[in-house]
Structure 1
Amino acid sequence: MAIIHNTTLKPTKLDLLTTWLPTRLWYVGTGAPELTRAGGFRLDDPAGEVGIEFMVAVDACGPEPVSYLVPLTYRAAPLPGADHALVGTMEHGVLGPRWAYDGVHDPVLRAGLLALFEGRVHAQAQSLSDTLDHEVTHSYAGDGLLVPDGPVEVTEDQDGTELPLPDGTVLRFHRVLRPSAPEGAVGHVSGAWAAPDGTRGRAVFASLRTP
């Protein structure tokens, strides 16, 4: 399991996201976001090289708080061909320079997420080492999922990001988190976070649908 280091990050993840989020089509704010890290989970990279985090960031800049799903990967060197997906670089107090990427473009995150859909791996706590996150649920009603082994076309809309899998199944990341479940999904991964009113928010983070 991944080791969580209690150390410094310069700039912080939220510093990077404050600049990056307004560049996204699905960002609903009209100004600079006011972000808090409200929850999420991690997945392990079997090779132990890439950090994988599904972060929920809550933006309080508007009249109502908005909860965003931000899948991120952290690497010790740039991911070839992924300059367009770079969120920013940070200096980690233990690991040194880290390149943070929008994880939907990272094949390691995609492979881990598809394994989670199928129940072959388990979600890990966001901020604790060697601890499972039991609030994360998953289901999948189809055949074995095929992981894209090359570049894929990633598209964005006002609610999320999606990409096709080799068998035609569509993987969707629900960026603006809402309690309503997606219609027609054959699989989902759901999680929870701390809402600004002190309750636990819950929504589908990612889903699968067939053509």
Structure 2
Amino acid sequence: MALLHRAELRPSKLELLAGWLPGRQWFAGEAGAPVSRVAAYRFDDPAGEVGVETLLVRAGDGPVLQVPLTYRGAPLAGADEHLVGVIEHSVLGRRWAYDACGDPVYPPLLAAAVLADAGQAEEYFEVDGKREARPASMTLSGSRTGRPVPTGPVSADPGDGGVTVVRVGDVELAVVRRPVPADVPAAGGLAGAWPGQDEPVLLAYAR
């Protein structure tokens, strides 16, 4: 479960990405163009400390780009190269936003979604002491491979061909940065769809 806050963010997530995305090797779209949100999904951090959100966005009229992010209340040691930027959150205070592929919290959660169809987190707003469900902006479906969800050391590298590779234990996962409709590999995959994109796109897969 993800508990969200109705808060003001400075800069906004999309403003932050407008400056960060053009420097990525997998970027496609207009550099300097406004970034718009297409859809999003979240995973639950079992410890409840780190926000884990994947944004699907466009820069101008460019293609859909997949940007997994983590949000932390303090800098992540040794992860400066993965820092997207710092956000002032009107409820939570300063938050450090990272490319989730470089955050050790993310790969095990992605592995669970890809290999065991763990799904996305349910989202709630807290209003006047009561929780209100926030409807999901997209559907998400993983594979049920029967393989155990791995634990162990995690790592990441830029990959090639528009993917970023993350590893957890002995499992290697490819995060598709420019997702398009494609078959889910036999080894397992994660697909998603949203209004206006009825044919599921491949978001990540085991390899």
- After TM superposition, the score normalised by the length of structure 2 is 0.85
* 1:203 aligns with one of 201, 204, 207: 201
Q: Which residue number in structure 2 is paired with residue 161 of structure 1?
A: 164
Q: Which residue number in structure 2 is paired with residue 88 of structure 1?
A: 85
Query: Does residue 1:19 correspond to 2:9, yes or no?
Result: no
Q: Which residue number in structure 2 is paired with residue 192 of structure 1?
A: 193
Contact kept, 8 Å, 1:54 with 1:69, in 2: the verdict is yes
Q: Which residue number in structure 2 is paired with residue 76 of structure 1?
A: 73
Whole-Å separation in 2 of the counterparts to 1:204 and 1:119: 16
Q: 129-138 vs 52-61, which deviates more? A: 129-138
Whole-Å separation in 1 of the counterparts to 2:167 and 2:115: 17
What is the count of residue pairs matched by the alignment?
200
Aligned CA-pair RMSD: 2.4
Whole-Å separation in 2 of the counterparts to 1:50 and 1:25: 26
Q: Which residue number in structure 1 is paired with residue 181 of structure 2?
A: 179
Per-residue CA distance 1:31-80 (angstroms, 9 max, x = gap) = 3233111102111111110000011012224xxx3100100000000111
**Structure 2 unmatched runs, 5+:** 126-131
Residue type of the alignment partner of 2:159? E
Give the % identical residues.
35
Quickly say closer, same or farther: Cα 1:201–1:76, change in 2 above 3 A. farther
Contact kept, 8 Å, 2:10 with 2:89, in 1: the verdict is yes
Whole-Å separation in 2 of the counterparts to 1:48 and 1:119: 21
Q: Which residue number in structure 1 is paired with residue 31 of structure 2?
A: 31
- After TM superposition, the score normalised by the length of structure 1 is 0.84
Contact kept, 8 Å, 1:123 with 1:132, in 2: the verdict is no
Contact kept, 8 Å, 1:25 with 1:157, in 2: the verdict is no
Q: Which residue number in structure 1 is paired with residue 141 of structure 2?
A: 137
Whole-Å separation in 2 of the counterparts to 1:104 and 1:82: 11
Which structure shows the higher strand fraction? 2
**Structure 1 unmatched runs, 5+:** none
CA-CA distance at 1:143 after TM superposition: 2.5
Residue type of the alignment partner of 1:207? Y
Whole-Å separation in 1 of the counterparts to 2:133 and 2:109: 17
Whole-Å separation in 1 of the counterparts to 2:98 and 2:69: 6
* 1:122 aligns with one of 119, 123, 135: 119
CA-CA distance at 1:160 after TM superposition: 1.5
Residue type of the alignment partner of 1:188? G
Quickly say closer, same or farther: Cα 1:201–1:14, change in 2 above 3 A. farther
Q: Which residue number in structure 1 is paired with residue 8 of structure 2?
A: 8
Quickly say closer, same or farther: Cα 1:30–1:131, change in 2 above 3 A. closer
Quickly say closer, same or farther: Cα 1:179–1:138, change in 2 above 3 A. same
CA-CA distance at 1:208 after TM superposition: 0.4
